[in-house]
């Protein structure tokens, strides 16, 4: 594989494992810090605006939790010793 920044003939690799974040309730961990910095009225409006579209795109499971999928991309390049 060659690509941006990887000279031809040099080994490189990339992989993208899938992962899931599990949330319970509307105040999932990634939003806790954000919501804490907002005024109460702004935080309530933000939560209300986000809740319905998120629920529609990622419906809760029977136990009430929601799984959000995301992908990470890892890349590795090598160079000959001595460079």
pLDDT digits (tens, 9 = 90+) for 19-73: 888 877 655 666 788 888 999 999 999 888 988 888 888 888 999 888 888 778 8
The pTM for the full model equals 0.46
- Local confidence band at 1 (pLDDT 50, 70, 90 cut-offs): very low
Residue 10 lies in a domain: no
Neighbouring C-beta atoms of residue 66, cutoff 10 Å: 20
Tell me whether residue 3 is in a domain. Answer: no
Number of domain units in the chain: 1
Position 45 in a domain: yes
Report the pLDDT value the prediction gives residue 25, as an integer from 0 to 100. 66
In this model, does residue 5 exceed pLDDT 60? no
Burial of 46 (C-beta count, 10 Å sphere; 0-12/13-18/19+): middle
17 contacts 66 by C-beta, under 8 angstroms: no
Q: What is the CA radius of gyration of the chain?
A: 20
pLDDT tens-digit readout, 6-22: 556 667 788 877 788 88
Is 7 a member of any domain? no
Placement of tokens 């605006």 in the chain: 49
DSSP assignment, residue 60? P
User: Is 48 a domain residue?
Assistant: yes
Q: Residue 61 sits in which domain range?
A: 16-75
């Amino acid at each position: 594989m060659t690509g941006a920044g990887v000279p031809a003939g040099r080994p490189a690799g990339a992989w993208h494992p899938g992962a899931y974040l599990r949330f319970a309730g509307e105040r999932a961990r990634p939003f806790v810090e954000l919501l804490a910095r907002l005024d109460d009225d702004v935080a309530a409006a933000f939560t209300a605006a986000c809740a319905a579209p998120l629920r529609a795109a990622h419906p809760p499971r029977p136990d009430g939790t929601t799984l959000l999928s995301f992908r990470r991309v890892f890349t590795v390049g090598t160079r000959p010793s001595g460079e």
